[in-house]
Structure 1
Amino acid sequence: MPDELGKKLFTYAVITDTHLNQGETESNSEFAVNKLSNGRMRFVVQDLNRRNLAFVIHLGDLLHPVPAVPHLYRRAAEQFKEQVADLDHPLHVLPGNHDIGDKPCDWSPTCIVQDEFIALWKEHFGANYRAFDHGDCRFILFDSQIINSGLSIEAEQAAWIETELAAATDQGKRIFLNCHYPPFLTYPDEQDHYDNLTDPGRSWILDLMEHHRVEALFAGHVHNVWYNHYRGTDCYLLPSTAFVRLDYAEIYRVVPTPEMESGRNDIGKLGYFLVHVHESGHICEWVRTYGEVSAPDRSAIEPQDDVATIHPRQNSNTRFGFDMRQNWLEVIEVPPSGALDEFDRKQTRNDYALMALLDMGVRRLRIPLRDLLNPDHRARLDDCARLGILFTLFSFGIPDSRALDAISQSRGLIDIWEISDLFQKLPSVVEAVAPTANAAGISIFVSKLRSIDELVRDGEKYYHTTSHGFTPDDGRQLAEVADWDNVDGVVFRISGETAPWRAAQDVADVCRVPGLKASLHIRMTTGSPGSTPLDDDWVANRAAEALVVSAAHSNMHVYIDTFADVDRGYYRRHGVVDRYYNPRQAFYVLRYMNGVLADGFSAQTGDVFTPAHADASISLIDENKR
């Protein structure tokens, strides 16, 4: 898959919702964090300047003061122009609702778009819709606020968009659309709310996207990150550089910390996108700015010798991933806030889980059978697969006919199926599922459910908890499994007290003669179900060691059992992201290690990294001996 993208052609940046104020520390907003918008924008400009970019696109809401308050609007516009004068790259801007007024909205007392506001925008920033070419790509920036407005300029823009799309299609151009309001947030047929386009405008633009095979659409307004795929088009909703929308703080099942200002200053969610355009596709990289502020007199940011990171589509290591225990695919209903939406709940997802996986370059996820049976989840898995993610299924016992049918329809989506049961029952389970697995091109791995007697015999304390997976001491049973038809591998449970590298050596030894592949489940907790290990250094080191195991052993798949924090219930522990789905230390360790390992790792040729012994360290040194 990494070669499918082809050569990288160029990179550009997309920023949005900068919300500049009329003064450096002035704001006509009641929220304290809004006073930081100018300094945060200045940092972004400096950060962009240290990068090799073809150009920058701004998706709107350049300013915070709305055009209904023209004296503040003009002052804020001057602040914006003063800042971007320092930008070293060409800048293309389009208006947001704070710049020319909101979309027509009967239920909300907002400042609706009108000709006077559009004229004020043009006075300071030029046309409110525009297009340009770069290489074989056409970038179309349109004004989403005027759609459905009934203004004369709406019809003018509609004719222009259709002409631009037709010309780009005739010329064989790749098409990238850019707007402020996203056509939809979660579902193409969702009800109208503050954060989407209303029909008939929504259906019109979606039909054009499908007809002209638009490669990607980028939108702002929501101040959060989401990804959708609509009939051939990748749709990206981008974060703000300034602040997070308060209504979406409801997504996270955790109380915001005081410094988060009820979620508006959740700095782990601020930033912008880099878009890397390749010969046969594109990938997006999220640059998290963490709310960094640059004062007016701060010198430019020095170029940094960053470790190159990779997207899952670029990662040849398909053997490392996470056990997705929490429901990362669920659709969440955001309650009416009394502010922007009052008459219904908005349906959305927590896509920060997906973004963290993409940021780390992780290719493989372990998912339960339930995700194939839920239509929303199943459709979402297809979206994620387009981003390069592979899936391992797990289940217990013999599935019913409905489940088997769902699995049979997952060819190309699921390539490994881990099945658990009591050891004596596993042969009949394998016999029952083998026809379905073989027809769908799925490899079967088996995992034995460990009985109470085994736990006691092995000296483990009985905590009334479920334990499954083989151990290196199960050599006799592993030899039996090797004689079963249709079994490709076995599952091993690696306790928190056992180092992943040491465990991998033992597993390799016991699997070598039977010729079995192995799946290693790396436990990220130690002790009893009531213990609370919250050592981020331990988590990061263990995660790094697990990744190295997957790179060093071509016959092992390695899964870390904790993606997001578990802060309640049994086995409380830290993951690679916290409950706000912001990165922890292990996130960055995995992200940069994946990037470093990528250059020398090739699943196609079977190359692996192999330290000489269990106590060996891995030194990552580039060609300049750094």
Structure 2
Amino acid sequence: MTQQFTHELFIRTQLSIIMVNSQENSKPIFSYAIISDTHIRPSGESSSPWKTNLLTNDRARWVSHAINNENPDLVIHLGDIVHPVPHQSTHDSASKVAQEIMESLSCPYYLVPGNHDVGDKDNPTVPAHIVNEEYIDYFRAHYGPTYQSFDHKGIHFIIINSPALNSGLREESEQRAWLENELKEHKGCRVHIFSHYPPYLYTPDEPDNYDNLDQPARRWLLDLIEKHRVEAFFAGHIHQFFHKRHNETDIYNLLSTGNLRQDYANIFRVEAAEEYGRNDAPKLGYAIVDVYENGYITHIRRSYGQTLLKGEKLQKRETIDHDYPHNSISSPLGVQVRYPLAEVTELPNMGPLDEFTRKKARNDYTFLALWETGIKTLRLPLADLSDDATRRRLYELHKMGMRYGFFTVNTPDPDIIQEHRELIDFLEVILPWEKVYDALPEASRLRMRLSLPVYVANIESSVHRKQIGTKFSHYMSHGFRIEETARLKPVLAHRGAADGFVFEVGQFDQPIYTMQGINEHATSNGYKVLINVRLAPEDPAEYPHDDNQTANRVAETAIAGYAYPDVRIFLDTFMDHDRGYFPRNGLYDRRLNPRRAAIVLRNLNAALNRYGASITNPIKKSSDGWTNIRFQSRQTIYTLKLPETTQAPAPSIESTIIDLTTGIINPCRLDDGVQFLSIKPF
């Protein structure tokens, strides 16, 4: 991947975490940026054995220039500004480089002390020198206050020195009294707190470890957060994205600009990225926080580890805006989430950071991936409601706008549905079709009792398929094919027992025309439709690896979703299924890094939100190595251009275009083999 491509890719892949009541066309009062864990080194050398750390300076410089292009009011750095710890002789020279890079910012910036800046927290198991007054004094002399507060356009900003907590130093007692007074004096105000250490990693009562705030200071800080209803709490240190809802406060762990903590590669069920997980570049980046009158939105910007040398400038290009989900409509597509939504991994005790204890971490990258792709509706097994940890997470995400449909085989026990009715947008009942008449009365009673939309699906397995030749493949799926609508005829007279039926779009079906036919049959016969679009092959031993073809299929499916808004459409699968039966690539790989399909879908959503999403009459034609899908809204004529291969020569275009692989509007040069959207106003 070239540097230019990764830069453009980064611009278009961001997570928007919404904690704001939507107001159409509202604009933020102001924006600010957050960076973390730059781990800047002295020029020409590194105190780290990792090759990735040789890139940290140029990666931090790139991020600083990218932030300048976004023009925030201010920047906050969450600590670990430099990599050499305070007792090393190179700490001072690294600090000078850090000051040079931070001074390249075009707005005011504020620095939070991290353990690489003022020493580790006071715990006998930490691998470096602990915090002391000498290190604190050095920070004050070179960077500024170790804790401070200020007001800006309705937000009270508080920066704390978390390594000093539990230290017994004068800094701790003075800071405790100061923070208690700060929150008391600003009671009822909107408060954002910034710390290097997060209060906790997974649960508030977890044991002390390298990555949380030790007791008793943890409980003291959480009590203050709860009492004063702090709006947001931002932390670094872990070099990973995590999000927790603690009472009324959102606690974020944000990405590093320079490197990953490779111990957390254990949360992904796949081989580690370069340098044992340290150089998983798609998980590097920064955050932009848009502040509104009644809330805020946190945007996670992926930098993909791009670099900028000293003296270079970062080119700014016009790109499609990603306002989702605050003031634009969501993707018309949902996804089937086959892997656990709230999976918790018990990380092995592993030196040098946690040699003597295991710690638990939840994989929140699924949440990040869903929101940056604009997907708000998930198809989940009903059994997820019986798992306490998963159910808690579902409630948290539901408050942030996520919606769920649950499926079950045969009619379920209504009690669990009744108990968690607010989480359920619809229920999908999957039945052996030969027993459908026996099950419909119970489905009807369930639907009436719970006032819940119910869709009925048939089980389709190897038993129902005609065997060709001598080979036999086990097969199991659900939903009718377009050519099987006649099978519905006997039950349409009983359609009052259900709101609609489930269909499947298979590997060799064209999404637009197949869904058009399904929609026409449903409309003429008075039932609703839920469609499952398979990315899986028909052969359980085949593995479709072509990301270009997957992106084309997803883009075509999205257009069908916009054209037929009354149809519920789900993509299967969201994340790669790379082992077992029917392997296939999804929108995201097993590290939950975006594939081309995710990027194209996100940019396509943004483009239609900007130029008109109420579209009609999609027409699909293929010629000269390209598939062209023409459609229109009230104000715009579109042509979606999908390359048959990544080598398809770029055609000449005279209208406005958006490169859907980068989000750039009217690029100077359109690369061969990229998906793009042509736009002509009426």
Q: 2:387 aligned with 1:371, yes or no?
A: no
The answer (yes or no) to whether the contact 1:310–1:359 under 8 Å persists in 2 is no
Map of 1:222-621 to 2, 5 A cutoff? 222-257=238-273, 260-298=274-312, 300-317=313-330, 319-399=332-412, 401=413, 404-434=414-444, 437-438=447-448, 440-450=450-460, 452=462, 454-456=464-466, 463-479=473-489, 480-481=491-492, 483-599=494-610, 608-615=614-621, 616-617=629-630, 618-619=638-639, 621=656
> 2:78 aligns to what?
59
Residues 462 and 284 of structure 1, relative CA distance in 2, 3 Å threshold: farther
CA distance in 1, matches of 2:392, 2:469: 44
- The answer to whether residue 228 in structure 2 is matched with residue 209 in structure 1 is no
Task: Give distance in 2, aligned partners of 1:227 and 1:437.
Answer: 35
CA distance in 2, matches of 1:521, 1:332: 30
**Amino acid in the other structure paired with 2:584:** R
Offset from partner CA, 1:238-278 (integer Å, 9 cap, x none) = 11001000110111121135xx1111011011101111222
- Taking the TM superposition and a 5 Å limit, the aligned residue runs for 1:15-30 are 15-23=35-43, 25-30=44-49
Counterpart of 2:54 in structure 1 is 35
Could you tell which deviates more after superposition, 425-434 or 515-524? 425-434
Is the 1:2–1:315 contact (alpha carbons within 8 Å) kept by the matching residues of 2? no
Q: Hey, what's the Cα distance between the residues in 2 that align with 1:297 and 1:445?
A: 60
1:102 aligns with 120
| Distance of aligned partners of 1:212 and 1:439 in 2 relative to their CA distance in 1, 3 Å threshold | farther
| Matches for 1:177-188 after TM superposition, within 5 Å | 177-188=193-204
Which secondary structure state, in structure 1, belongs to the residue aligned with residue 162 of structure 2?
coil
8 Å contact 2:240–2:260 — kept in the other structure? Answer: yes
For the residue of structure 2 that corresponds to 1:559, the secondary structure is: strand
One-letter identity of the residue aligned with 1:267: A
Counterpart amino acid of 1:551?
Y
How far residue 515 of structure 1 moved from its aligned partner, in angstroms, is 1.7
Residue 604 of structure 1 aligns with which residue? Answer: none
In structure 1, C-alpha distance between the alignment counterparts of 2:450 and 2:141, rounded to whole Å: 60
The separation in 1 between residues aligned to 2:401 and 2:35, in whole angstroms, is 25
Secondary structure of 1:446's aligned partner? strand
From the superposition, tell whether residues 153 and 433 of structure 1 become closer, same or farther in structure 2 (CA, over 3 Å). farther
CA distance in 2, matches of 1:98, 1:317: 41
Give the superposition deviation at 1:196: 0.5
Worse-matched range after superposition: 485-494 or 616-625: 616-625
Separation in 2 of the partners of 1:514 and 1:113? 72
Aligned mate of 1:127, from 145, 152, 155: 145
Q: Which amino acid aligns with 1:5?
A: S
Residue 525 of structure 1: how far off its partner (Å): 2.6
- Residues 178 and 217, structure 1, Cα contact 8 Å, conserved in 2: yes
Q: Give the share of equivalent positions with the same residue, in percent.
A: 36
| Contact in 1 for aligned 2:20/2:296 (Cα 8 Å) | no
Given the superposition, is the C-alpha separation of residues 525 and 74 from structure 1 closer, same or farther in structure 2, using an over 3 Å criterion?
same
TM superposition shift of 1:452: 4.9
Hey, what's the Cα distance between the residues in 2 that align with 1:46 and 1:323? 38
1:478/1:4 Cα in 2 relative to 1: closer, same or farther (>3 Å)? farther
Larger displacement relative to structure 2 (540-549 or 448-457): 448-457
In structure 2, C-alpha distance between the alignment counterparts of 1:536 and 1:460, rounded to whole Å: 32
- CA contact under 8 A between 1:408 and 1:437: conserved in structure 2? no
Q: Which letter does structure 1 place at the counterpart of 2:99?
A: K
**Distance in 2 between residues matched to 1:311 and 1:412, nearest whole Å:** 23
Q: Map residues 141-152 of structure 1 onto 2, 5 A cutoff.
A: 141-152=159-170
* Equivalent residue for 1:164, pick from 182, 199, 202: 182
C-alpha offsets along residues 200-220 of structure 1, whole Å, 9 cap, x if unaligned?
Answer: 211111111111111111100
Contact in 1 for aligned 2:512/2:618 (Cα 8 Å) = no
Asked whether the equivalents of residues 335 and 346 of structure 1 are also in contact (C-alpha less than 8 Å), the reply is: yes
Q: How far is the alpha carbon of 1:579 from its aligned partner? A: 1.4
C-alpha deviation, 1:610, in angstroms: 1.6
Relative to the length of structure 2, the TM-score reads 0.85
1:398 offset after TM fit, Å? 2.7
* Native 8 Å contact 1:423 1:448 kept in 2: yes
CA distance in 1 between counterparts of 2:220 and 2:202 reads: 17
Give me the whole-angstrom Cα distance separating, in 1, the residues matched to 2:592 and 2:86: 35
- Which protein has the bigger strand share? 2
Tell whether the 8 Å contact from 1:482 to 1:515 is kept in structure 2 after alignment: no
Counterparts of 1:2 and 1:72 in 2: how far apart (Å)? 42
Contact 2:127 2:353 in 1 (8 A): no
Instruction: Return 591-600 or 454-463, whichever deviates more.
Output: 454-463
RMSD over aligned CA atoms reads: 2.3
1:114 positional shift: 0.9
CA distance in 2, matches of 1:585, 1:411: 36
Q: Deviations over 1:66-85 (max 9, x none)?
A: 1112x322111111111122
Structure 2 gap ranges (5+): 1-17, 622-628, 631-637, 641-655, 658-664, 667-678
1:269 maps to amino acid: K
Deviation at 1:428, TM superposition (A): 4.2
How far off is 1:181 after superposition? Answer: 0.3
The code of the aligned residue for 1:287 comes to: R
In structure 1, how many angstroms separate the alpha carbons of the residues matched to 2:289 and 2:228? 21
Q: Distance in 2 between matches of 1:45 and 1:355?
A: 23
Give, in whole Å, the separation in 1 of the partners of 2:241 and 2:107: 24
> Per-residue deviation at 1:226?
0.7
Question: d(CA) in 2 for partners of 1:555 and 1:2?
Answer: 28
C-alpha separation in 1, matches of 2:547 and 2:617: 24
Specify the code of the residue in structure 1 equivalent to 2:30.
Answer: F
Q: 1:167 to 1:446 in 2, by over 3 A?
A: same
Q: Is the Cα–Cα contact under 8 Å of residues 552 and 608 in structure 1 kept in the other structure? A: yes
Distance 1:58 1:482 in 2: 64
49-58 or 460-469: bigger deviation: 460-469
C-alpha distance in structure 1 between counterparts of 2:45 and 2:39, whole Å: 12
2-structure distance, mates of 1:317, 1:88 = 34
Query: 1:350, 1:569 → 2: CA distance?
Result: 22
User: Which range is displaced more, 456-465 or 610-619?
Assistant: 456-465
Whole-angstrom distance in 1 between the partners of 2:448 and 2:362: 34
Conservation of the 8 A alpha-carbon contact between 1:182 and 1:220: yes
Give the whole-Å Cα distance in 1 for the aligned partners of 2:431 and 2:133. 68
| Count of matched residue positions in the alignment of Structure 1 and Structure 2 | 611
